[in-house]
Structure 1
Amino acid sequence: MDDSLHQAVTLLIAPGQVVEVRALTDQWIHSGYFDDHEELARQVAALDTDQSVEGIYVTLNEVNRALLSRRANRIKMRLGKKDATTSDADILRRRWFPIDIDPVRPSGVSSSDAEHELALTKAGAIAAWLKEMGFPDPVMADSGNGSHLLYRIDLPNDEMSSALVKRCLEVLDVMFSDRQVSVDTANFNAARIWKLYGTVSRKGDNTPDRPHRQSRVLSAPPAIETVGPDLLQHLAARLPAYPPESKEEKSGLVLSRWLSDHGIGVSSEKSYLGGTLYSLAECPFSSAHRDGAFAIQFPNGAIHAGCHHASCGGGQQRWQELRAKYEPGRAEQREQHERSWRRDRAVTRAEQEGRVAPPASSSPPPEHQVKAFEVLRNGDPLALMLAAFAQEHVGDEILARCMVLSMASQAVKNSDGLHVSVTGDSGKGKTHAFRKMLRQVPDRLKVKGTVSNKALYYMKDLAPRSVLMSDDTELSDSIQEILKSATSNFNEPITHTTVTKDLSCRVCRIPERCVWWIAKKEGTGDDQVMNRMLTCWIDESSDQDARVLAAKQVREMLDPDSFVEESDELRTCRAIWEVLHEQTIWVIIPYSKRIRFNAICNRRNPDMLYDLIKSHAALFFMQRQQKTSEDGTLCVYANEADFSAANDVFTLLNGTAGGQESKMTKKESDLLSLIHRADRSGLTSVSTELSKATTAGERITPGCWKSARPFHSRTGP
């Protein structure tokens, strides 16, 4: 037996699996069913010597065993009209995702050596691209005329699986097919037959220019990994499956003319969803590569542009970025138009409700928008935000992380929201930290300064996803009631019904998905409220006092010429939040069952950790595996980097930077530690500390000893 044939049978067919062998000639079909794979190989080897056989194929997917009785372990030559072959209904499960890459050539002939080599090269490029997406190494094969990639899958044989495989092949066709090589999109049906490697491909006559070749396996991983359905869905979502809503239709923009007018070369064009796809001669988004860029214009005029390289967006929409690059003036015009539109809409609302229209909001300049997208796609948005914060506030990094993740939670559809509470003595920088982080928030999404609880309900222009800051050092009962509602019903507005002077009812609302940052002094606040928030401590150490003083001394030495009101980093952060404000993301934590908690007595704390993971994933949504749900929701898969970042914050909040589990302030925690360490001779020092922190003493001494034990939260997948 030929070694390559034996290798192929072992790779493609599971032990005991029934498979159909089908050989094609100009006039006849020869076919048989086998569960004896040694006999299959022996009969195929003999049949392959027949020069009239153009190709020998097998069914890739799992066949109903009953079909063995049609032609059991034998090949019947010249099937008659009544002799059936395998249909899609005969397949039990899908086991392979097949990708056939063929050189473009006249029909009925073998490929030339140059054409053959082009197909092999293209297969390598496709495999490398899929690996960037997370696909494992495939079985790579030479079909005799082109190349094959085979990925192991495990899907039911149903309409959804068929549609998924078909869509994946269509995406690969769009991404990689050109005038010389094409990806066959017809290989999606479950009963598709596939070249049996180790046999000869004979198309046309065997000539020196276009020879017959033996098909063979080129490479296979030692252990073939299965590609999950989520990864296939991620591939299928790399390009729009239907035309998006169009603004270009009204403007009359013709993409082919626009590309030509701006000197953007087109290497090929093809039909796509009733529109036209243009493969660009060079990538306009990156100098790291030349190939991979494309632009699509749909029948409704809508345009989608991108690049298939993972480092360049992986097919994600980049049309506005491309247009801004070649029409820099238009980007500002577009921003002005959108600002005007928002302003007009707000004016109309104000007139309808009999109130004054809000001031117009400003959008970030185009250069900061471009930088924001670059950071979201390839950089570290969290590190940038922390660095921008550190330019204006010394220390308190964990508090800064909590505030960033709090804002990110507003973009997570399946989050209960993350709210932040920070405690510490007056003058230690709580409010200063909040105000410096608020500088990163777009103006329309924050309330400058503090407001009373009643004023919140009457602020008609308070937008959903706003950041609300409270510097109510005593946390009044009214504010605490609002906080309870906000933290319990994050995804719904908070309503308040009041009676006007004319004795009619008026319903006022605080919009949905607003997050709260609370600065309070030691020992104040309802435990129910604090139980629903990220509980941080401001750094009150003497080392921090020294660092703050040093920073103030440096700042006082600045002259007006060197003073910068807003750094580029700050403006880029603001542009990033503009992008995230437009997103509604459902975050999936695929490893959630593998997370272990050291203590679960407070049932809200696991929710806090999960929301921290989701918020971190939302910040990096352009760098995470994605899919689109049936209702159009963008779904993002959190990875272990998201867990690690969330766990670091969660652990510190239960240790040196906060009282997440115990709900103690820093002084209370220090006092409890002192009590634990003290013996009778040390009670004097305990009494001294109690006199310094009477509130802490009142909270601990009545019997909260056991309930205030520190919580340790090392978790791990």
Structure 2
Amino acid sequence: MIKLSTRTEYLSRLFADNGLVELRHHAGGRWQTGWFTDVDRIEREIQQREDHGDLYTSLNAPRPRSAPNAMRGEPITNDAIGWITRLPFDFDPVRPAGVCSTAGELAAANRRRDGLVAMLRKLDWPMPLHALSGNGYHAQYRCRLPNNGETAEMLRAIYSGLHAEYSDDEVDFDRSVRNPGRIFRLYGTINRKGPDTPERPHRRAQCWIPARWRQVDRHLIERLADQYARRAENRPPSSAGGAQSGFRATGRGDYRTLDIVALMRAHDLYRRALGNGAHSVWCPWRDGHSTPHGATGAVIFEDGPDTWPGFHCHHGSCNGRTIADVIAKLGDADQFCRDAFKGKRAS
């Protein structure tokens, strides 16, 4: 069940997950910021400011050592965040700069947001907070991820992938909102972007919070990141069996028929099946990871009969490595191919 929620309820959820919440006010071209530890105090400040400009709040949890600076009124920075507690997905209609959305533009953004939520529900993600920003539509998912390099890589893959899949010349998926220090429109206040006209009016931002607003399990976030990383980094070569990612394929095997699971098992790298053709494995370069035996490992993908399998590792030291690098590293992939390559290798 999901219902229209009050501003106080939304703020209470932020305090419960983050402890400290930043309120940022924009009016007359100037920004002012303040930090709060309870709903009553922040509500009093909001009531003094809401009729004069636009209001935003922080989304994520600051590190304890950042609290003194925050309480002195310093804006949040990415490095000051300790935990990512919100995954905000933001759909904005494509329109002229500096104006509000029309009703038709908003409807297009709403449909796009609902399409994403439906897709994630099929992947076992829980129901998110739904929101109208005033000019676009949001979905916010609760989570708890450390603000570190591995999380940054996961979110980069997800937001870049969603942008490629859901953006066009009608609606834009904003991939920039993944940064830890992001501020977001305060629901329950007026969005005053540009002139207030009958066709493009100022609107009140609103949100709808599920009765059970559950956190997304980390493994579901990892799986989505793997899916989009595979699409971005492991597209098959234009001429099957040819070069991929700078790799010169000189072996005899047709890598479209490579049994990637058998190859990983032979090198004691296989861990478990994840479903939908994905498998968790130990990274062949794990000895060089800063956290070589952490829960976040690598993933291989069986993509189909006419494509090479895929590979992705979350660790920053493996950024850019693909299945071609795995083949070169392990050295004996040919014997795990069902067929020999019959074409001409790229040189």
Amino acid at match of 2:76: T
Are 1:220 and 2:193 an aligned pair? no
Cross-structure match for 1:329: none
Q: Is the 8 A contact 2:83 2:147 kept in 1?
A: yes
Change in CA separation of 1:248 and 1:412 when aligned onto 2, cut-off 3 Å: closer
Cross-structure match for 1:117: 107
CA positional deviation for 1:84: 3.1
Within 1, Cα distance between the matches of 2:173 and 2:98? Answer: 18
Cross-structure match for 1:634: 300
Within 2, Cα distance between the matches of 1:17 and 1:630? Answer: 37
Cross-structure match for 1:685: none
Q: Superposed, which structure 2 residues align to 1:443-458 within 5 Å?
A: none
1:279-298 CA-to-partner distances (Å, cap 9, x unmatched) read xxxxxxxxxxxxxxxxxxx9
Cross-structure match for 1:57: 56
* Ranges of 4+ aligned residues in structure 1 off by more than 3 Å: 64-72, 247-251, 408-414, 584-587, 624-633
Q: Is the 8 A contact 2:128 2:210 kept in 1?
A: yes
Q: Is the 8 A contact 1:135 1:231 kept in 2?
A: yes
Q: Is the 8 A contact 2:270 2:282 kept in 1?
A: no
| 3-state secondary structure, aligned to 1:105 | coil
Change in CA separation of 1:147 and 1:409 when aligned onto 2, cut-off 3 Å: closer
CA RMSD in angstroms, aligned pairs only: 3.6
Q: Superposed, which structure 2 residues align to 1:202-217 within 5 Å?
A: 202-217=192-207
CA positional deviation for 1:38: 1.3
Cross-structure match for 1:162: 152
Cross-structure match for 1:237: 226
Change in CA separation of 1:15 and 1:236 when aligned onto 2, cut-off 3 Å: closer
Amino acid at match of 2:217: G
Within 2, Cα distance between the matches of 1:201 and 1:98? Answer: 18
Change in CA separation of 1:206 and 1:160 when aligned onto 2, cut-off 3 Å: same
Amino acid at match of 1:146: G
Q: Superposed, which structure 2 residues align to 1:311-390 within 5 Å?
A: none
CA positional deviation for 1:5: 1.3
1:634-690 CA-to-partner distances (Å, cap 9, x unmatched) read 179xxxxxxxxxxxxxxxxxxxxxxxxxxxxxxxxxxxxxxxxxxxxxxxxxxxxxx
Q: Is the 8 A contact 1:151 1:226 kept in 2?
A: yes
Q: Superposed, which structure 2 residues align to 1:295-310 within 5 Å?
A: none
| 3-state secondary structure, aligned to 1:114 | helix
| 3-state secondary structure, aligned to 2:184 | strand
Cross-structure match for 2:168: 178
Within 1, Cα distance between the matches of 2:262 and 2:226? Answer: 20
Within 2, Cα distance between the matches of 1:628 and 1:195? Answer: 40
Cross-structure match for 1:246: 237
CA positional deviation for 1:45: 2.5
Within 2, Cα distance between the matches of 1:627 and 1:126? Answer: 25
Amino acid at match of 1:30: Q
CA positional deviation for 1:16: 7.5
Change in CA separation of 1:45 and 1:625 when aligned onto 2, cut-off 3 Å: farther
Q: Is the 8 A contact 1:157 1:190 kept in 2?
A: yes
| 3-state secondary structure, aligned to 2:109 | helix
| 3-state secondary structure, aligned to 1:20 | strand
Cross-structure match for 2:343: none
1:518-537 CA-to-partner distances (Å, cap 9, x unmatched) read xxxxxxxxxxxxxxxxxxxx
Within 1, Cα distance between the matches of 2:115 and 2:51? Answer: 34
Change in CA separation of 1:203 and 1:629 when aligned onto 2, cut-off 3 Å: farther
TM-score normalised by the chain length of structure 2: 0.69
Change in CA separation of 1:633 and 1:67 when aligned onto 2, cut-off 3 Å: closer
Cross-structure match for 1:47: 49
| Runs of 5+ consecutive residues of structure 1 not aligned to the other structure | 77-82, 252-297, 301-340, 347-368, 370-407, 415-490, 493-583, 589-613, 637-717
CA positional deviation for 1:19: 1.1
Q: Is the 8 A contact 1:93 1:154 kept in 2?
A: yes
| 3-state secondary structure, aligned to 1:151 | strand
Change in CA separation of 1:47 and 1:241 when aligned onto 2, cut-off 3 Å: same
CA positional deviation for 1:231: 1.3
Larger strand fraction of residues: 2
Q: Is the 8 A contact 1:45 1:199 kept in 2?
A: no
Q: Is the 8 A contact 1:109 1:205 kept in 2?
A: yes
| 3-state secondary structure, aligned to 1:40 | helix
- If asked which structure has higher relative contact order (CA below 8 Å, sep 6+), I would say 2
Amino acid at match of 1:238: Q
Percent identity (aligned)? 25
Aligned pairs, how many?
A: 276
CA positional deviation for 1:413: 4.0
CA positional deviation for 1:228: 2.4
Within 1, Cα distance between the matches of 2:51 and 2:12? Answer: 21
Q: Is the 8 A contact 1:585 1:635 kept in 2?
A: no
Change in CA separation of 1:121 and 1:626 when aligned onto 2, cut-off 3 Å: farther
Within 2, Cα distance between the matches of 1:236 and 1:7? Answer: 31
Amino acid at match of 2:126: P
Cross-structure match for 1:399: none
Within 2, Cα distance between the matches of 1:241 and 1:102? Answer: 24
1:126-147 CA-to-partner distances (Å, cap 9, x unmatched) read 0000111111111111111101
Cross-structure match for 2:13: 11
TM-score normalised by the chain length of structure 1: 0.35
Within 2, Cα distance between the matches of 1:628 and 1:99? Answer: 30
Larger helix fraction of residues: 1
Change in CA separation of 1:3 and 1:222 when aligned onto 2, cut-off 3 Å: closer
Within 2, Cα distance between the matches of 1:15 and 1:634? Answer: 34
Within 1, Cα distance between the matches of 2:160 and 2:226? Answer: 11
Q: Superposed, which structure 2 residues align to 1:169-568 within 5 Å?
A: 169-217=159-207, 219-239=208-228, 240-242=231-233, 244=235, 246-248=237-239, 411=262, 413-414=264-265, 491=266
1:444-476 CA-to-partner distances (Å, cap 9, x unmatched) read xxxxxxxxxxxxxxxxxxxxxxxxxxxxxxxxx
Within 2, Cα distance between the matches of 1:222 and 1:249? Answer: 50
Match of 1:108 among 98, 107, 124: 98
Q: Is the 8 A contact 1:33 1:70 kept in 2?
A: no
Cross-structure match for 1:338: none
Cross-structure match for 2:33: 31
Amino acid at match of 1:234: R
CA positional deviation for 1:15: 6.8
Within 1, Cα distance between the matches of 2:17 and 2:219? Answer: 27
Change in CA separation of 1:630 and 1:26 when aligned onto 2, cut-off 3 Å: farther
Q: Is the 8 A contact 2:18 2:61 kept in 1?
A: no
Q: Is the 8 A contact 1:237 1:628 kept in 2?
A: no
Amino acid at match of 2:14: L
